[in-house]
């Protein structure tokens, strides 16, 4: 049965989408069956998975509005070797259109039930704001992966997310937990980053993943080619770090 994870952080620009698409590609590269769900109307995770968001006939929007199933709307990305339930600007309308419907925060969860045996992992890329879309992601998930840059204000953004997760856990989804914090864009030459990294370890202990994603030019370049770095340049240090992270995730879910 698929384990479902949101990649979330209420701070913008921390590498959520990069983490989602590269983890998806890395899991696929080690033989896992993966569905990547893009819940951000910007559609960057869709484009970054080799799917043109402008050409999609169906998207996660249709799934949330219950006019299509996940199987109907998901597309296979041949280069990435995972399925993509994509998003484009149309998804912004769901914020308006779901306001007055029942079970509005559980639309995605209910839709994913039908495909739970088809995948090992479902990864959901959430928008940075706490919206109905993010709530749908958090209600669907067994856990949250939090990408973090080891910078001075990183912990402040984390406080907001932890409070949100507590509320969702208490009211909507008792399964929800933080699976772990992933240190991304890490540069060990910067003393502050080492200090913040140590603080994270001291404060969150085992919740901090062992894998560390280094700041890497090839990961940054990959989206302009419409591919995750793991696919664009598998030999790059950043790509290899994501494969290590994927292995760590597989180990962690066996203990869940």
Partner 1 sequence: MIPIHVLTLPGWQSSGPLHWQSRWEALHGYTRVEQHDWITPKRGDWIAQLEEVVLSCTGPVALVAHSLGCLQVAAWASHSKHVDRVKAAFLVAPGDSERSQELEHLRGWRPMERQRLPFRSLLVSSQNDPFCSPERAEQLASDWGSEHWDLGPKGHINADSGLGDWPEGHRRFTDFWKA
- Cβ closer to partner 1: 94 or 178? 94
Minimum separation from the CB atom of position 109 to partner 1 (A): 20
CA–CA separation, 102 vs 238, rounded Å? 43
Q: Is 103 in the site for partner 1 (CB under 8 A)?
A: no
The answer to whether 136 contacts partner 1 (rule: CB under 8 A) is: no
Tell which residue, 222, 26, 18, has the closest CA to residue 9. 18
Least separation in angstroms between residue 161's CB and partner 1 is: 25
Residue numbers 146-175 binding partner 1 by CB under 8 A = none
CB of 105 to partner 1, least distance (A): 16
For residue 190, what is the DSSP state? S
Cβ(219)–Cβ(236) below 8 Å: yes
What string marks each residue from 50 to 69 as x (binds partner 1 by CB under 8 A) or -? ----x--x---x--------
Q: Is the CB of residue 12 less than 8 Å from the CB of residue 97?
A: no
In terms of Cα–Cα distance, which of 108, 133, 103 is closest to 122? 108
Q: Which region, judged by CB under 8 A, interacts with partner 1, from 82-90, 177-185, 191-199, 239-247?
A: 82-90
List the strands of the sheet with 82-85, edge to edge. Answer: 75-77, 82-85, 34-38, 121-125, 3-7, 143-149, 178-186, 208-214
CA distance 7 to 228: 15
For partner 1, the binding residue among 88, 134, 173, 239 (CB under 8 A) is 88
> Which of 100, 102, 191, 235 is close enough to bind partner 1 by CB under 8 A?
100
Nearer to partner 1, 90 or 248 (CB): 90
**38 within 8 A of 90, measured Cβ to Cβ:** no
Determine, following the binding rule CB under 8 A, whether residue 245 of this chain makes contact with partner 1: no
* Tokens matching residue 57: 């006939």
Of residues 153, 173, 181, 192, the one with CA closest to residue 245: 181
Instruction: Mark residues 6-45: x for contact with partner 1 by CB under 8 A, - for none.
Output: -----------------------------------x----
Contact with partner 1 (CB under 8 A) among 21, 47, 94, 161? 94
CA pair distance 3, 149, nearest whole angstrom: 25
Assess 96 for contact with partner 1 (CB under 8 A). yes
State yes or no: residue 95 binds partner 1 (CB under 8 A). yes
Token pair listed for 14? 């921390």
- Is 129 a binding residue for partner 1 by CB under 8 A? The answer is no
How many residues lie near partner 1 (CB under 8 A)?
A: 16
Chain residues binding partner 1 by CB under 8 A are 41, 54, 57, 61, 88-97, 99-100
């Amino acid at each position: 049965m698929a384990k479902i994870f949101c990649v979330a952080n209420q701070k913008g620009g921390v590498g959520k989408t990069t983490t989602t698409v590269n983890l998806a590609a890395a899991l696929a590269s080690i033989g896992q069956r993966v569905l990547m769900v893009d819940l951000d109307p910007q559609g960057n995770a869709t484009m970054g998975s080799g799917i043109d968001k402008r050409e999609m006939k169906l998207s996660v929007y249709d799934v949330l509005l219950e006019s299509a199933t996940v199987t109907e709307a998901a597309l296979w990305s041949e280069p990435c070797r995972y399925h993509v339930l994509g998003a484009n600007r149309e998804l912004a309308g769901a914020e308006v259109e779901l306001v007055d419907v029942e079970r509005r925060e559980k639309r995605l969860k209910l839709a994913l039930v039908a495909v739970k045996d088809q995948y090992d992992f479902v990864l959901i890329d959430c928008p940075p704001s706490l919206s109905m879309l993010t709530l749908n992601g958090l209600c669907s998930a067994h856990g949250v992966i939090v990408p973090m840059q080891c910078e001075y204000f990183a912990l402040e953004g984390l406080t907001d997310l932890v409070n949100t997760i507590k509320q969702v856990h208490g009211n909507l989804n008792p399964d929800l937990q933080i699976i772990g914090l992933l240190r991304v864009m890490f540069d060990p030459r910067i003393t502050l980053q080492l200090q913040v990294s140590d603080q994270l370890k001291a404060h969150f202990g085992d919740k901090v993943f062992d894998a560390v994603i280094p700041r890497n030019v090839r990961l940054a370049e990959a989206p302009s080619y419409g591919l995750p770095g793991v696919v664009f340049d598998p030999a790059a240090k950043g790509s290899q770090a994501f494969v290590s992270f994927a292995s760590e995730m597989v180990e962690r879910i066996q203990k869940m």
